[in-house]
Amino acid sequence: MTPLEELRHSASHILATALLRIYPDAKLDIGPPTDTGFYYDIDLDHKLTAEDLARIEAEMKKVADENQPFLRREVSREEAADIIRSRGQERYKLGRLGDIPEGEKISFYQNGEFMDLCAGTHVRYSSKLKAFKLLSIAGAYHRGDEKNKQLQRIYGTAFPTREELARYLEQLEQAKHRDHRKLGRDLRLFVIDEDVGQGLILWTPNGAIIRQELQDFISAELRKQGYSQVFTPHIGKLELYKISGHFPYYKASQFTPVVENESLAKILQEGCSCADMVVRLDAVSSHLAAQVNERTGRETITPDRVLPDDRLLDGFMLKPMNCPHHIKIYSSQPHSYRDLPVRLAEFGTVYRWEQSGELNGMTRVRGFTQDDAHLFCTEDQVAQELLGCLALVKIVLTTLGMSDYRVRVGLRDPDSNKYTGQKENWDKAEAACREAAKTLGVSFTEEPGEAAFYGPKIDFVVKDVIGREWQLGTVQVDYNLPIRFDLTYSGADNQPHRPVMIHRAPFGSMERFCGVLIEHFGGDFPVWLSPEQVRLVPISEKTLDYGNELLALLKAAGVRATVDAHNDKLGAKIRRAEVEKVPYALVLGGKEAEARSVSVRSRARGDEGTVPFDQFLAKVLEEIRLKSLSVKKPPAGAGPA
Ligand SMILES: [Zn+2]
Ligand SMILES: [Zn+2]
């Protein structure tokens, strides 16, 4: 553990110590550190409230002040079980003890009267915990499984200093106002309807504008980089995912397959049980298994999943990935080395089965549209293609004012042999990832063991304006699928060669990316992304005609505008435009109508005075064209920096 994780994890021991003083009957599960703090999952009949949290926190303070040392004790498995039972914690802790592999050391840590099964590590004394806070209580299923009991999860955070804690709490406060679920509702950007289904985003007109603008922007950049747009359906045959290996290996994270009515009726007649049906869905035909196994040079499809053809049951899957469809487009034609790289891009919608407890607004969903593309290239082109992918990310993030980001390069675990492909290829691809990451001019870390089994990858983590980090998408090099699907191109030697695939969805999904952007901008989107760019505000009915005339001109120029024809006071109209976060409100009085001018109120800079309408139009069009970020007016008296 890092020193910060150590501090936070120790805080969860101290939390448990305090909790048991107040609720001796509480049954403890686990209390790990997280990226932003720590939690402890507990089973307690009493439903904890905010007042209870304050009480527990006060007790934690006492425990910290008692300056208890953290003492380690190694025990045998039997002793461990005895300790757990003697403390009345067998409900979850015995199971956790069972998780520890045979032969591994088993240890307890004691601080004061409390003792917990734990591998460590911890701070030396409880008094190290000076700056902490309990934040919230949430439900969490034991082992994240909905079939298990729901426990209460107490979240908290801890920092080395009070200043850092204060800064973090301030950030949390700001984050509440920026919560994309709240802003999404207030600004009518998206809805989730229980009748449609949890985790399925309905993009309402305002949100759809933002998504479309982003897609257009990304598409234009992709065209410049030589990508070809493709479209593919939302489903594919099970067989396809058996070849790719997505099914049944990732079955738990996918929607149940769709089986045709006729096949279902037929197997019902045969008296096929559900269990039998699952086996027949999962299995692969023997000739397909032989083909894949021969191509991969190993037994990737094992005999216990192979059935004779007439025992197989075929169906369709909601696609969990776009790769197999794009692969089929590639393999539909012969390719020469001169055609490569082939770059196929699609805003492709995919479906994944997430536990309902994991769902969260737009950022954790069950259906989402990836900014996906697959590049098919020669071994020698990998480095150049990675550079192109990263250049695109840089352009998009910089345009959105997210210049604070870092990348993680996922490499092989040097001690593992789970990776497919040849060592030399891996070496080259890893070096290419590292070199590409360097060109970005931002910080990057290398993470051994984080590569996919089929190739190294680059992940993007952006920091938003209030300093929170968001993991976006990824670029992955893949040696595996070209083999499984037997992809080839003919080389200069006229012989067939294997292309390398690069999967890239650098922004992850449109849902997640927009969710992050809503919070990043706090709803104050730059003009080019704003669902409504200009609000015309006639002072009274007398200038309504002038308003409608300008509306027609704005619309003809491609500016998204409306007229506020309500019958209320000017102040109310201006406030409405502000609440709805419209970048420009143009106040139209008699004088303005006569002079064909507008009185400009900017969301970012306040009153900007009266200017001829044509001048305003030219300025706003330029701002849209340049995708300018909203620049706030410097405070009065501020000199040059
Ligand atoms: Zn511990
Ligand atoms: Zn892919």
**Residues whose Cβ atom is located within 5 A of ion ligand 1:** 118
Q: Which residues are catalytic?
A: 323, 352, 370, 372, 374, 457, 503
For the chain, the C-alpha Rg in angstroms (whole number) is: 29
Which DSSP symbol is given to 4? Answer: H
Which ranges of the chain have pLDDT less than 50?
638-641
Q: From the CA of 109, which ligand is nearest?
A: 1
Peptide bond preceding 248 in cis form (omega within 30 of 0)? yes
Terminal-residue alpha carbon distance, the chain = 41
b/e burial code for range 140-157 (CB count within 10 A of at least 16 → b): bbbbeeeeeeebbbbbbb
Cα 216 to ligand 2 centroid, rounded to whole Å: 21
Q: How far apart are the CA of 370 and the centre of ligand 2, in A? A: 10
Residue 124 alpha carbon to ligand 1 centre in Å:
12
Going from the Cα of 15 to the center of ligand 1, the distance in angstroms, rounded, reads 11
Residue indicated by tokens 């003009």: 527
Q: Which residue has the tokens 């979240």?
A: 155
Residue 151 identity (one-letter amino acid): L
Q: How many angstroms from the chain centroid is the CA of residue 377?
A: 28
Contacts of 168 (CB under 8 A, 6+ apart): 36, 157, 159
- Residues whose CB is less than 8 angstroms from the CB of residue 478 and which lie 6 or more positions away in sequence, other chains included: 452, 454, 455, 500, 501, 502, 503
User: Which ligand is nearest the CA of 323, by number?
Assistant: 2
pLDDT of residue 573: 95
How many other CB atoms are there within 10 angstroms of residue 303's CB atom?
11
Q: Which ligand neighbours the alpha carbon of 244 most closely? A: 2
As a 3-state breakdown, the chain gives helix, strand, coil percent values, each rounded to 5, of 40, 25, 35
Ligand with minimal distance to 9 CA: 1
Contacts of 60 (CB under 8 A, 6+ apart): 11, 14, 15, 17, 18, 129, 132, 134
Helix, strand, or coil (residue 204): coil
Phi-psi sector, 287: left (phi>0), alpha (psi -120 to 50), beta: alpha
Q: What pTM does this model have?
A: 0.82
Q: Is 106 helix (H, G, I), strand (E, B) or coil?
A: strand
What is the 325 CA–ligand 2 centroid distance (Å)? 9
Counts for the chain of helices (H) and strands (E), in that order: 20, 28
Ligand nearest 15 Cα, by number? 1
352 CA → ligand 2 middle, Å: 14
Nearest to 367 by CA among 490, 518, 235: 235
17: CB partners within 8 A, 6+ apart: 60, 63, 68, 111, 112, 113, 114
Measured in whole angstroms, how far is the alpha carbon of residue 249 from the centre of its chain? Answer: 22
**CA of residue 38 to ligand 1 center, whole Å:** 11
What Å distances lie between residue 161 and 32, 59, 184, 432, CA to CA? 20, 20, 35, 40
Ligand closest to Cα of 478 equals: 2
The beta-carbon contacts of 113-117 under 8 Å, at least 24 apart in sequence, are 113/17, 114/13, 114/16, 114/17, 114/20, 115/83, 115/87, 116/13, 116/16, 116/28, 116/31, 117/80, 117/83, 117/84, 117/93
- 453 CA to centre of ligand 2 in angstroms: 14
What pLDDT does residue 639 have?
A: 45
CA–CA gap between residue 378 and residue 337 (Å, rounded): 7
In angstroms, what is the span from residue 388 Cα to ligand 2's centroid?
A: 17
Buried b (16+ CB within 10 A) or exposed e, 218-235: beebbeeeebeebebeeb
Of all ligands present, the nearest one to the C-alpha of 40 is 1
Residue 468's region, left for phi above 0, alpha for psi from -120 to 50, else beta, is: beta
Q: In 3D, which of 3, 44, 15, 4 has the Cα closest to residue 111?
A: 15
Tell me the DSSP string of 280-297. HHH-EEHHHHHHHHHHHT
Query: Nearest ligand, CA of residue 6?
Result: 1
Residue 636's pLDDT is 55
Q: In 591-610, which positions are buried (b, 16+ CB within 10 angstroms) versus exposed (e)?
A: ebbeeebbbbbbbeeeebeb
Residue 50's Cβ-count burial label (10 Å; 0-12, 13-18, 19+) is exposed
Instruction: Point out the ligand nearest to the CA of residue 33.
Output: 1
Kindly tell me the sign of the dihedral angle through the C-alpha atoms of 145, 146, 148, 151: positive
Residue 298 Cα to ligand 2 middle (Å): 22
CA of 287 to the centre of ligand 2 (A): 25
Q: Which residue is associated with the tokens 């001829």?
A: 612
CA of 166 to the centre of ligand 1 (A): 25
Q: Which residues contact 319 (CB under 8 A, 6 or more apart)?
A: 232, 233, 234, 235, 236, 325, 348, 349, 350, 351
Distance between Cα 66 and ligand 1 center (Å):
18
CA of 9 relative to ligand 1 center, distance in Å = 6
Distance CA 527, CA 627 (A): 7
Q: Output the CA 452–ligand 2 centroid distance in Å.
A: 12
CA 47 to ligand 1 center in whole angstroms: 25
CA 365 – CA 184 distance, rounded (Å): 15
Q: Cα of 321 to ligand 2 centre, how many Å?
A: 6
Q: What is the pLDDT of residues 582-627, one digit of tens each?
A: 999 999 999 999 999 999 999 999 999 999 999 999 999 999 999 9
Q: Rounded to 10 degrees, what is the CA torsion of 365, 370, 371, 373?
A: 160
